[in-house]
Amino acid sequence: MDLEDVKEQCSQDWQQVKKLHAELQSAVSKPVVITEPLLPVLEETEKRLKAELQGIRERELSTIPQNPELQKIVLKQAEQQSLQEYKETVAFLRATRTDAVESLNKSEAEFAHLQQINEEMKKELLAFQETEQEQRENSSLEALQLNARDVSKTSVDEYEFSASKILSVTMSHFHKLEINQKCPPPEPGQVRRTLNESQDVDPNQIMDMKRMLGRLIEQSLNSPEQPYVDLDHRFWPAQVEFLLQCQLIVQHPDNPRKIKLVPFHL
């Protein structure tokens, strides 16, 4: 549809408008009922709306005019409107992006700060755990030291008590057996006559009964798994024989040169 067609369509529409105007002027006006003045007005309004609705229904729908020039104008206007909407949308997205970037940067800074706090808390916790472990180890060491002292003191006390008990029991046996009268310590001359000339032994090295029993008691307490003592030149044979007869000592079953104290104190 070109420009001539548009002019022709406008002329036809104008003729129809003039015809409707003439009909309206020639129409007889109806008397208005005073009791209900709005009713006739509403009726006429209803007729007018019905006529407009009928015209819309009978009119052919045409979104775009048939004239190419008008189509270009309409499309250009639509394009400009869409472009303006796109520009507004891009501006909104850019503003939103700026806010989002700022929010993201803020969140990253807060996250880095929280990470730093977390690392510091981990270091403090590790230091606290190490301190607590060190204190626990020190407490355990102190407890072990105190326990060792108590055990050592107890062992010494038990050792002294056992030695005292053994010595007391042994001395009671000695008193009962009257060992001083029956087996007196040897004289130096007797020692020289008894030993061979080839044996270079000092008579003063010969142990008396008390030293001999002390040596046996010491061996029995310090080495209960090996309570035997080797007989050497310091042990006077007469005293050893006397203790054997009194059943205060016994010989080793495989080696008669070893003796031990009989555990009569147990």
CA nearest neighbour of 182 among 232, 104, 240, 242: 242
Q: Which helix (H) or strand (E) holds 258?
A: strand 258-261
Distance CA 180, CA 199 (A): 28
Q: Sign (positive/negative) of CA torsion 258, 260, 262, 266?
A: negative
Domain boundaries, the chain: 178-195+202-261
- Residue 182, phi then psi, degrees to nearest 5: -85, -35
Q: What is the DSSP-derived secondary structure letter of residue 186?
A: P
- What is the predicted pLDDT for the residue at 198? 43
10-residue block means of pLDDT along the chain (266 residues)?
A: 76 86 73 64 86 78 67 83 88 82 88 88 88 82 68 53 60 56 61 53 73 85 89 85 86 92 72
pLDDT of res. 164: 61
- Dmax over Cα atoms in the chain, in whole Å? 186
pLDDT at 253: 92
pLDDT of residue 149: 62
Which residues lie below 8 Å from residue 75, measured CB to CB, with a gap of 6+?
A: none
